[in-house]
Structure 1
Amino acid sequence: MQLLVRDMTEEYAKQILTWKYEAPYDFYNNEESAESLTELLENPYYAVLNQDHELLGFLCIGSAAQVPFGSTVGAYNEDLQDIGIGMDPAITGQGFGTPFFTFILSYIQETYQLDSIRLTVAKFNQRAIHLYTKLGFVKKVEFSRNTTEFLTMVKHF
């Protein structure tokens, strides 16, 4: 399957905001609000489409990919580019994570010529952590915000 990265549009953003994940991944559900729409449109978010131009997921880079509280506890002290991803819940848990994220990593490397990249994941999301580890990410910093524990992971290219 061929994947494409496109600029985020209002149509894609509105579609993403309607995605609803099953528990425990409902942690990643977005609120359908003007503020959430603005977040997706005014920050470096990109749509990931299949060859039929159907929205499969998104990626974001920079501080938009960070958990804001993490900065207050030193989780982002190392000067690295951050990446965040999301996949349509209709296709999660079906073995598509590896080709999806491999494509995104290739895109990021080609576009930004980075030596290293960092991501942040909720610690309960063992499915994602397994994928990230398989693709060469290593655990770095753990921190908590309220009742949620987070983990940063870094990959060196």
Structure 2
Amino acid sequence: MSINFFRMTQQEAEEMAAWHYPPPYDFYDMTADEEDYHEFIDPHRRSPRTYSAYKEGALIGFFTIHPTDEETVDVGLGLRPDLTGKGKGDSFVAAGLSFAERHYEARFFTLSVAEFNQRAVEVYRRAGFKETHRFMQKTNGGTYPFIAMKK
């Protein structure tokens, strides 16, 4: 069954903002960073290129696409907490990248991931991403190491 993407509605944003991940992945809870939370939950601040992902009629995650030039998009994504760590990341990432290729004519992709999240780093590597550099990012009330990747 394929994954389908639709422009995110306010109801979907509110539902996803209430998702809670088990530690240490609670780092990705929307409520972990007040600024990120408000940007996601406010329909006037949320990117119009934020899409809800559905599989078999169920909301399974989101995918945000930020074009950075004519051929490259930066992506942000989240999978529903009960689906993480179960081998579903590969198909979710592949579907999101395919969507971005079709709708944004993307040839290259970039993303950033918290360094501790080796589970996600491995999913991205299997999808063809390679590390470009590491950097420190202010978020969630502190500064944390992140990995920038490109495909």
TM-score range, shorter chain: 0.7 to 0.9
CA positional deviation for 1:80: 3.6
CA positional deviation for 1:28: 0.3
**CA 1:12–1:109 in 2, change beyond 3 Å: closer, same or farther?**
same
Residues 35-72 of structure 1 show CA distances to partners (whole Å, capped at 9, x for unaligned) of 541168631211001122x2100000118xxxxxxxxx
In the superposition, the TM-score normalised over structure 1's length comes to: 0.81
In the superposition, the TM-score normalised over structure 2's length comes to: 0.84
Residues 64-92 of structure 1 show CA distances to partners (whole Å, capped at 9, x for unaligned) of xxxxxxxxxxxx9xx84200110000111
Code of the residue aligned with 2:52 in structure 1: it is A
Q: Please identify runs of 4+ aligned residues in structure 1 that moved more than 6 A.
A: none
Instruction: Specify the alignment match of 1:38 in structure 2.
Output: 42
Code of the residue aligned with 1:17 in structure 2: it is A
What percent of counterpart residues are identical? 33
- Cα RMSD of the aligned pairs, angstroms, is 2.2
Code of the residue aligned with 2:112 in structure 1: it is T
Instruction: Specify the alignment match of 2:56 in structure 1.
Output: 51
Most deviating of 140-149 and 86-95 = 140-149
Instruction: Specify the alignment match of 1:10 in structure 2.
Output: 10
- For this pair of structures, how many residues does the alignment match? 140
For structure 2, list consecutive stretches of 5 or more residues without a partner in the other structure. none
Instruction: Specify the alignment match of 2:100 in structure 1.
Output: 108
Secondary structure of the residue aligned to 2:120 is helix
Instruction: Give the strand-richer structure, 1 or 2.
Output: 2
